[in-house]
Amino acid sequence: MNRAWAGENGGASSGARPDEARRHNRAALLRRLHVDGPCTRAVLAAELGLNRSTIKAVVDGLAESGVVSEAVPARRTGAGRPSLMVLPQAESAVVLAVDVRVEQVAMSMVGLGGQVIGRHSWNLRRATRTPGEVITHVAESAQLLAEELAVTPAGAGISVPGVVRRDDGWVHEAPNLEWRDIALGTRLAAVLKVPVQVANDAEMGALAEHVRGIAREVADLVYISADKGVGGGVISAGRPLRGTRGYVGELGHLVVRPGGRHCYCGSRGCWETEVGERALCRALGMPEETPRGVVVAELRSLATAPVPGPLDEFAEWLATGLVTVVNMMAPELVVLGDLFTALPPGVVDHVRGLVHERSLVSRAVGGTRIETSPLGRDAKLVGAAELAFEPVLGAV
CATH number of 18-88: 1.10.10.10
pTM, two decimal places: 0.90
**279 vs 243: CA distance, rounded Å:** 29
Write down the pLDDT at residue 126. 84
Of the chain, the percentage scoring pLDDT greater than 70 comes to: 93
Is residue 86 predicted with pLDDT exceeding 60?
A: yes
Is residue 57 predicted with pLDDT exceeding 70?
A: yes
SS3 readout for 222-243: EEEEECCCEEEEEEECCEECCC
DSSP 276: S
Q: What does the pLDDT look like over 149-181, one tens digit per residue? A: 999 999 999 999 999 998 899 999 998 899 999
What confidence category does residue 83 fall into, taking pLDDT thresholds of 50, 70 and 90?
A: confident
Q: What does the pLDDT look like over 198-231, one tens digit per residue? A: 999 999 999 999 999 999 999 999 999 998 889 9
What average pLDDT does the chain have?
91
Write down the pLDDT at residue 128. 87
How wide is the angle at C-alpha 128 spanned by C-alphas 124 and 132, nearest 5°? 125
Q: 162: closest CA among 210, 129, 114, 123?
A: 129
Q: What does the pLDDT look like over 312-340, one tens digit per residue? A: 999 999 999 999 999 999 999 999 999 99
Q: What does the pLDDT look like over 260-311, one tens digit per residue? A: 999 988 999 999 999 999 999 999 999 999 999 999 999 999 988 777 788 9
> 92-204+380-392: CATH homologous superfamily?
ATPase, nucleotide binding domain (3.30.420.40)
Is residue 247 predicted with pLDDT exceeding 80?
A: no
Topology alike, domains 92-204+380-392 and 216-374: yes
**117 vs 112: CA distance, rounded Å:** 10
Write down the pLDDT at residue 78. 57
Is residue 4 predicted with pLDDT exceeding 50?
A: no
Residue ranges covered by each domain of the chain: 18-88, 92-204+380-392, 216-374
Write down the pLDDT at residue 38. 95
Write down the pLDDT at residue 76. 62
* Strand 230-236 with 239-240, pairing: antiparallel
Q: How far is CA 237 from CA 21, 210, 329, 363, in A?
A: 25, 12, 11, 20
Of the chain, the percentage scoring pLDDT greater than 90 comes to: 79
Average pLDDT of 222-242?
92
Write down the pLDDT at residue 19. 82
Q: What is the DSSP string of 155-211?
A: -EEEEESSEEETTTTEEEEEGGGTEEEEEHHHHHHHHH-S-EEEEEHHHHHHHHHHH
Phi and psi for 262 in degrees, rounded to 5? -65, 140
Average pLDDT of 122-144?
94
Q: Was domain 216-374 assigned CATH 3.30.420.40? A: yes
Write down the pLDDT at residue 80. 58
Is residue 5 predicted with pLDDT exceeding 70?
A: no
Q: How far apart are the first and last CA of the chain?
A: 21
Average pLDDT of 348-377?
92
